[in-house]
Structure 1
Amino acid sequence: MSLDSSHRGDSSADSLPADAHGERLKFSGDNSFHRELRRRVDAEFKRSGTRQRDSAQMYLKTAVILATFALAYVALVFFAVTWWQALPLALVLGTAMAGIGFNIMHDGGHQAYSERRWVNRLMALALDLVGGSSYIWQWKHARFHHTWVNVAGHDSDIDLGVLGRLSPQQPRRPWHRWQHIYLWPLYGVTAIRWHLFGDFRDMITGTVGERPFNRPKGWDLAGLVIGKLVFFTLAFGLPLIFHPIGTVLLFYALVSGIAGILLALVFQMAHVVEEAAFPVPDETTQQIDTPWAIHQLETTVDFARGNRVLSWLVGGLNFQVEHHLFPRISHVHYPLVARVVEDACREYGVTYREHRTFSAGIASHYRLLRRLGKPVAAISNAPAVADARAAA
């Protein structure tokens, strides 16, 4: 199966494989709210004369990010001769790596970059340039996560194995008591795990987390293999020609650690916070008792929407509500979409969850980690705190 086909991001999970027990979760309820949201958003784009994809702003942004990545890499590998020259370059390079993920490959992977499939595929391959697999990401994130947000055993993005407990439905281990302390530095290993272990493990086992997926074949497999070869050449091959192995390994860990922390934090602040729900499917019917769009709103929290610099850097992923409802719209348009979504939520009596600042999201994530690490997690399957705190 080629993953070039567009992922609609709606309530249909028909293209997804069943789990190991032959089960596939379904959403229930009235989808009229979702249809009305789509109608209003489409009408707003038509009224403003704005294209949902193929934005000149996005093409310019792509050029800036890729140029920053290339210049920082060249300067670090070929010109830096002292630690005080290399350190800031490593910081810029790690941030640019995360920027490629947040902005370029993310829009491409969600078919949100362009109306042309080959352009979306090309932009999605930017993830392979920085060490991940765009093919496996499609299954892990664009399909499993976006369909079943915060559903333990189905959303692989909240599965840290025994290292952490990110959902009240996951088993608690004794060391989780301290996860609100030790997980922060471990977030820095996120990218390194993808590079050296995660993608290979998924390929061998044929699973992403607890979910089976279709292993790549043909051009998809070729893209994965070539991508890994290119990345390992850039990360280790070329640098080892000019620098000792210890220096290469140190700065690989530093650059990847910076990227990993940024990538992990943006995800965690959108879903693994006190205000987000962790729904439990009905064991008999294998249904979630809410429509798909309502599920997205209950499990997703925006943060720092007014911070334009942050929005630019993280590819609009501080507008996570809008992204989950409309994953095929380019992120440069999320502020426009947010106004429509918030008005519709107010009119329909649906809660719209938001942290006003970046620090409020960080604090909420910390509190939830601490709560989930306790012997009895003081959290329900509904949003855990009053909506007033979400607006803090």
Structure 2
Amino acid sequence: MSLDSSHRGGHAFAEPPGIRDEPLKFSGDNSFHRELRQRVEAEFKRTGTRQRDSAQMYLKTTIILATFALSYVALVWFAVSWWQGLGLALVLGTATALIGFNIMHDGGHQAYSRHARVNRLMALALDMVGGSSYIWQWKHGRFHHTWVNVSGHDSDIELGVLGRLSPSQPRRPWHRWQHIYLWLLYGVTALRWHLYGDFRDLISGTIGERPFSRPRGWDLARLLLGKLVFFTLAFGLPLMFHPLGTVLLFYTLVSAVAGVLLALVFQMAHVVEEAAFPLPDASGRRIDTPWAIHQMQTTVDFARDSRVLSWLIGGLNFQIEHHLFPRISHVHYPMVARVVEATCREHGVPYLTHRSFAAGIASHYRLLRRLGASEPAIDGMPVPVLPPG
């Protein structure tokens, strides 16, 4: 039983042949990270708990997938009124987000099972609901998890010209209203994955500003087959029983619900006032902070006392624990959090958290407003941008 070693020593992910070497690395004393790993390892041994292959997780998977299947079948074949369709669309959109938060997320991070095939199968749940587990692994699993909140490296904070999520990103005139309009755009998050984003990344060979290794062979086949399955579920089967306008309306509604939920939960962890937006040193090749400290500075937990919320969103309210130990199943994050918080106190490392989900939402709103109202990062706005060192 060993802890995740994807960031051992604080170095970035190794990229496959054909991708330019990534120069941005972390430096500094890694003793805090080593101590964390040892203590969390000891806690799992003391309690006799397995880090993966949890019966609780398998039961949770069954409940979520059953909810998704039943709401889909009821919406397509049994709904006979607009209010029935509306209610089922809300349930189906929520179940879609729960698949992403729980099943796919643990599988994609190899946190679901000790067995690679099980993890791969669970990760493919994202392909079933319209995304691409292959592209997600690059965009989120590698680029985001390694370089959190570093503009130009963390593709999760890149919205192009539509939004300014980091003080180091250029400000456009329309960003002054982003604290209003971005909430609406969050609703098209899933739609963009389904219809444009994954295809754009596949064709261009880039995710945001970053090149990645295009899928080949079975990886490409799984991506394309996943899209075929999704489009069959979203359009093919419903069009056999309903007019085009009705199908498009409910597809949009389901996708909007899923998109808003997905966007909000992930934004609450990093794009908030308390999170830092670190800058590389003058060479542009190094961040003078150990990797684990970087994760602590750029990540914020929220609503840790809410068991219901934690169950629904796959423990992503424990984002600090997830970033430090991405290969541990999220059902164990409350236990891990106790160890992490205690270790932070002993080492004098800040442990950032919001008491509630509403507090996180408010902090995100305030940051969007401040980023939209100010000039670029060097204007001295009081957003926590960490200089080198």
1:290 aligns with 2:293: no
Distance in 1 separating the partners of 2:17 and 2:153: 10
1:78 CA drift (Å): 0.6
Q: Which residue of 2 aligns with 1:345?
A: 344
- Asked if the contact 1:133–1:224 (Cα under 8 Å) also holds between the matched residues in 2, the reply is yes
Q: Secondary structure at the match of 2:315?
A: coil
Contact kept, 8 Å, 1:72 with 1:93, in 2: the verdict is yes
In angstroms, what is the RMSD of aligned CA positions?
1.7
Who is 2:164 aligned against? 165
**Contact 1:20/1:211 (<8 A) preserved:** no
Matches within 5 A, 1:1-392: 8-10=6-8, 11-16=10-15, 23-284=22-283, 286-376=285-375, 378-382=381-385
Residues 1:177 and 1:242: Cα distance change in structure 2 (over 3 Å): same
Distance 2:11 2:121 in 1: 26
Report if aligned partners of 1:7, 1:111 keep a CA contact under 8 Å in 2.
no
> In 1, Cα distance between the equivalents of 2:120 and 2:335?
26
Change (3 A) 1:9 1:260: farther
How big is the shift at 1:382?
A: 3.7
| Equivalent pair of 1:168/1:379 in contact (CA under 8 Å) | no
Letter in 1 for 2:188: V
What is the CA deviation profile of residues 307-334 of structure 1, one whole-angstrom value per residue up to 9, with x for unaligned ones? 1110000000000000000000000000
- The answer to whether the 8 A contact 1:16-1:143 is kept is no
Q: 1:87 to 1:346 in 2, by over 3 A?
A: same
Change (3 A) 1:20 1:129: closer
d(CA) in 2 for partners of 1:115, 1:232: 31
How far apart in 2 are the matches of 1:172 and 1:98?
Answer: 31
Answer whether contact 1:100 1:126 (CA < 8 A) is retained: yes
Classify the secondary structure of the residue corresponding to 1:242. coil
Q: Using the TM superposition, name which of 19-28 and 100-109 deviates more.
A: 19-28
Whether the aligned pair in 2 keeps the contact of 1:9 and 1:324 (CA below 8 Å) is no
Instruction: Determine the C-alpha separation between the residues in 1 that align with 2:384 and 2:17.
Output: 24
Partner residue, 1:388: none
Q: 1:306/1:14 Cα in 2 relative to 1: closer, same or farther (>3 Å)?
A: closer
TM-score by length of 1: 0.94
Aligned residue identity for 2:382: I
Q: Give the whole-Å Cα distance in 1 for the aligned partners of 2:103 and 2:75.
A: 23
1:132 and 1:194 in contact (8 A); partners too? yes
Letter in structure 2 aligned against 1:256: S
8 Å CA contact 2:93–2:258 kept in 1: the answer is yes
SS in 2 for 1:171: coil
Shift in Å at residue 376 of structure 1?
2.6
The match for 1:386 is none
2-side partners of 1:34 and 1:344: how far apart? 10
String of CA shifts for 1:244-297, please: whole Å, max 9, x gaps: 100000000000000000000001100000000000101315111100000000
Amino acid at match of 1:273: V
State the distance in 1 between where 2:341 and 2:93 align. Answer: 34
Q: Identity over the aligned pairs, expressed in percent?
A: 78
Normalised by the length of structure 2, the TM-score is 0.95
The alignment of Structure 1 onto Structure 2 pairs a total of residues equal to 379
d(CA) in 2 for partners of 1:37, 1:248:
50
Question: Using a 3 Å threshold, how does the CA distance of structure 1 residues 84 and 14 change in structure 2: closer, same or farther?
Answer: closer
Contact 2:19 2:212 in 1 (8 A): no
Q: Distance in 1 between matches of 2:224 and 2:36?
A: 40
Structure 1 gaps, min length 5 = 1-5, 384-392
**How far apart, in 2, do the equivalents of 1:354 and 1:19 lie?**
40
- Code of the residue aligned with 1:327 in structure 2: it is P
Q: SS of the counterpart of 2:373?
A: coil
The 8 Å contact of residues 135 and 224 in structure 1, kept in 2 or not, is answered as: yes
